[in-house]
Amino acid sequence: MESLKTAGAIRPLDYQFARFLQEMGGEPLTVLAGALVSHELASGNVCLPLKDINTRSLFSVESESLQALEHLITSSNWQDELSASRLVSDGSENSPPAPLVLNRNRLYLYRYWQYEHLVSEHLRNKGARTADSATVKTILDRLFQRDYTLLFKQLQAATDLQATVIKWLDIVKPDSLDWQTIQQTIGNARSGNDLAPLDQLIPDHTCLNWQKVAAALAATQSFSVISGGPGTGKTTTVTRLLAMLVELEQLSSGKAPVIRLVAPTGKAAARLTESIGGALEQLNCSEAVRNNIPGEAGTLHRLLGVIPNSTEFRHHQDNPLHLDILVVDEASMVDLPMMTRLLSALPDDARIILLGDRDQLASVDAGSVLGDICAAAGNTYSETQQKRLQQLTGYDLSTERPPTNASIHDCFCLLQKSYRFDASSGIGQLAASVNAGQIRETKAVWEAGFSDIRRHLLNDSGYQTMLQLCVDQYRPYLQAIKNDQSAREILSVFNRFRLLCALREGACGVEGLNLEIRNALARHRLIERETLWYPGRPVLITRNDHGLGLYNGDIGITLADEDDRLRVAFQLPDGSLKSLLPSRLPEHETVFAMTIHKSQGSEFAHTAMVLPDKINPVLTRELVYTGITRARQELDIFTTEVVFNQSVSRPTQRSSGLKERLLA
């Protein structure tokens, strides 16, 4: 163990935990297993599945480094020997407390076993809701009325009218329709209003709008999850479903529910605030309803109430939050300990709605809570739920039955149609083929000649092209500073482009590239060369400072004030600006380039992504997918074909028992 620590294969924390177990009288196998579980946590794994113990490379090192432990590893019956240890409990209610838990053939640190147990218990206890079906249906029909103005606009530009109608009206049974009359109606239409006869020609039961299903589902459950890729309408849907819940509550009790919107980072909260604002404007509801939906989102930390210098929060099981409905956006970024704290702090009768993209990178810290919930839920509903949803939406939802009776199956809705990328967009198609792990299709997308995606070979000349691209793309915000534009405008221009890296270290990592880009900008006389702080230096906060209201992931830009003093300007989630002297900033770094991990929850009109020239354990399908989906309009990727393909072929697998628990 000591030599593994010296070689950097295990963290000092893992080593100390092993020592602690030894001092408690732990058998050699228990000590080794404890170090392993602790080590696995650092890679995001909540537990150590014993079934994998002989196949995985322990401690992620070559087997020669483990020679001294080989006998212990191979000759032990892990299950029996660990079960017999005084330091390992089985997690049952009556078992004495112990530092490790062995449950369903998975070994946990006690605390993480408890987190997983609490999350699954909270979710299983959040039951079904009742509401008057006829009222819900009337409200849903209004909120999800067909948008014939949008359809009319799409038809003007379409070459295939039938395909366009099928796509925009979510038709799933086209063969049952009278297309000749439909085509005539479209041909005679001079505006969206003229398409109203399509209400009769294309009845609801031939369509299936998953956004409406998601809203209906939230009416029936205290806990629901809406997952979907970028632009699939998660925010639009949640705004409409909140309007429905407000209206239902106003009708039944005459009061409005208390709603809170949160996201894991300040950046993600700011984006949610922005898109909720847009969605609120388009709502087909009364002012009394609209006014009760918050137009602003905050961070999870702020909601729970941070206590300075403590890992505890002000709100917890014994001091629950004051709310009726909680919406959590970018839920894929929420790790297991945070999800436990959040669910524990919810009042018993509150609703919670999780939004996120299940295919994105999992949280930085341990667990893949959203991914596990979605995997457990599948995309099938129990017979009762299917009938209820059918009644509320008018759609025919007969699908396969779920494999178990677990309630989680009835809580999930997957949105698949992107409203953001149109057919001429390569970004959407590239994201879809990468997400599906289809190398051949990915290649076809590259070769199809889309104008919004460009692939560059990462050699010396490709590297120079990348630096030049950064100079060209960062020039506008530096120019905006020279032109004395407002801090708000400068931040907005800066946030149009970002270079994303898979790694921190190396020439293709954040550290090397931040230096190279800075030098390149200085060579072009766009920034000063010598000083640490200069007008235009963009910084990324890397540690939360609750006192200052700045959080890990917040981005600011250094600007000179009227007295020529440098200050760093940030835009907070509520839209206000904050300017601080550089000396007051919490931990931070330059951010011409940032890691794909840190870019989660952000989007840029133009995104460039660089993967290293050699394969690395960090490179996974989720990482590449997350990087691609940060781009709204343009995407440049710098990579080699081998590294790109190998990354896409490697989906991440995090060990956890949550899915199994939710299905039990």
Ligand X SMILES: Nc1ncnc2c1ncn2[C@@H]1O[C@H](COP(=O)(O)OP(=O)(O)OP(=O)(O)O)[C@@H](O)[C@H]1O
Q: Residues in the site for ligand X, rule: CB under 6 A?
A: 147, 150, 211, 228, 230-236, 275, 419-420, 603
Closest approach, Cβ 19 to ligand X, in A, equals: 45
Q: Which is nearer to ligand X, 155 or 503 (CB)?
A: 155
Could you give the angle at which helices 426-435 and 439-447 cross, rounded to 10 degrees?
A: 170
Residue 5 CA: distances (Å) to CA of 39, 107, 656 = 11, 22, 25
Q: Which is nearer to ligand X, 115 or 144 (CB)?
A: 144
Query: 367 near 654, Cβ under 8 Å?
Result: yes
Q: Which is nearer to ligand X, 20 or 419 (CB)?
A: 419
What does DSSP assign to residue 59? Answer: G
**Integer Rg of the chain from CA:** 27
Q: Which of 538, 424, 518, 405 is nearest to 477 (CA)?
A: 538
Residue ranges of the alpha helices (H) in 230-294?
234-253, 266-281, 287-290
For the CA atoms of 275, 280, 283, 289, the dihedral, rounded to the nearest 10 degrees, stands at 150
Q: Which is nearer to ligand X, 211 or 473 (CB)?
A: 211
Q: Which is nearer to ligand X, 100 or 169 (CB)?
A: 169
Q: 534 burial class (0-12, 13-18, 19+ CB within 10 angstroms)?
A: middle
Please list, in sequence order, all residues whose beta carbon lies within 8 angstroms of the beta carbon of residue 180, skipping any fewer than 6 positions away: none
Q: Which is nearer to ligand X, 13 or 283 (CB)?
A: 283
Closest approach, Cβ 162 to ligand X, in A, equals: 19
Closest approach, Cβ 491 to ligand X, in A, equals: 19
| Residue ranges of the binding site for ATP | 228-235
Q: Which is nearer to ligand X, 215 or 658 (CB)?
A: 215
Closest approach, Cβ 497 to ligand X, in A, equals: 17
Closest approach, Cβ 417 to ligand X, in A, equals: 8
Is 578 strand, coil or helix?
strand
**CA-CA distance, 583 to 586, in Å (whole number)?**
9
Closest approach, Cβ 354 to ligand X, in A, equals: 13
Closest approach, Cβ 422 to ligand X, in A, equals: 11
Closest approach, Cβ 633 to ligand X, in A, equals: 13
Q: Which is nearer to ligand X, 313 or 421 (CB)?
A: 421
Q: Which of 648, 601, 659 is nearest to 622 (CA)?
A: 648
> Tell me, what amino acid is at 247?
E
Closest approach, Cβ 238 to ligand X, in A, equals: 8
Query: 359 near 437, Cβ under 8 Å?
Result: no
Phi then psi for residue 67, to 5 deg, are -55, -45
Query: 304 near 314, Cβ under 8 Å?
Result: yes
Q: Which is nearer to ligand X, 603 or 613 (CB)?
A: 603
Closest approach, Cβ 166 to ligand X, in A, equals: 15
Residue ranges of the alpha helices (H) in 510-559?
510-523
Is 649 strand, coil or helix?
coil
What does DSSP assign to residue 484? Answer: T
Q: For residue 257, what are its two tokens?
A: 């529910």
Query: 470 near 478, Cβ under 8 Å?
Result: no
Q: How many other β-carbons are positioned within 10 Å of the β-carbon of residue 554?
A: 25
> Tell me, what amino acid is at 468?
Q
| Residue ranges of the binding site | 228-235
Q: Which is nearer to ligand X, 429 or 655 (CB)?
A: 429
Residue ranges of the alpha helices (H) in 327-424?
336-344, 369-377, 383-393
